[in-house]
Amino acid sequence: MVVASTFNAEKHCRVLALMFALLGFLLVSLSLFFLVLITVAEAGTSAELESILNGILAICAVIWLLLAVLPLLGCWSVLKRRPWARIFSIVLSALYLPTFPLGTAVGIYGLWVLTKVETEQYLARAA
């Protein structure tokens, strides 16, 4: 007996794009949180310690902001069905696997969706 595939690549790509967008916005929020900490952080003991703390928080904010660009780019590329979207999103999904729990969920779902033949055909067609 042959069972027809009920996999809807368009729907799953939209869900994956939404997950990438949510992950990106979460990382942007984390970056903004570090920037707010810079403005309210007071070391209390010395100006030197306060400047070191502010520098560390600024570096963390920039790193999280740069990391937020990747899932947002993945979201955009999948929605616009760019030729490189599938490979980029597979790499991105694999990179997020160790970041438990949200990154792991996005990574597993992304790898499941992006390794399907239907998804490859869907993203290969021009938008």
pLDDT at 43 over 60: no
- Per-residue pLDDT tens for 52-93? 888 888 898 999 899 899 999 999 999 999 999 999 999 999
In this prediction the pTM is: 0.86
Domain ranges across the chain: 14-124
The predicted pLDDT at position 25 comes to 96
- Per-residue pLDDT tens for 80-90? 999 999 999 99
pLDDT at 127 over 60: no
For the CA atoms of 106, 109, 114, 118, the dihedral, rounded to the nearest 10 degrees, stands at -140
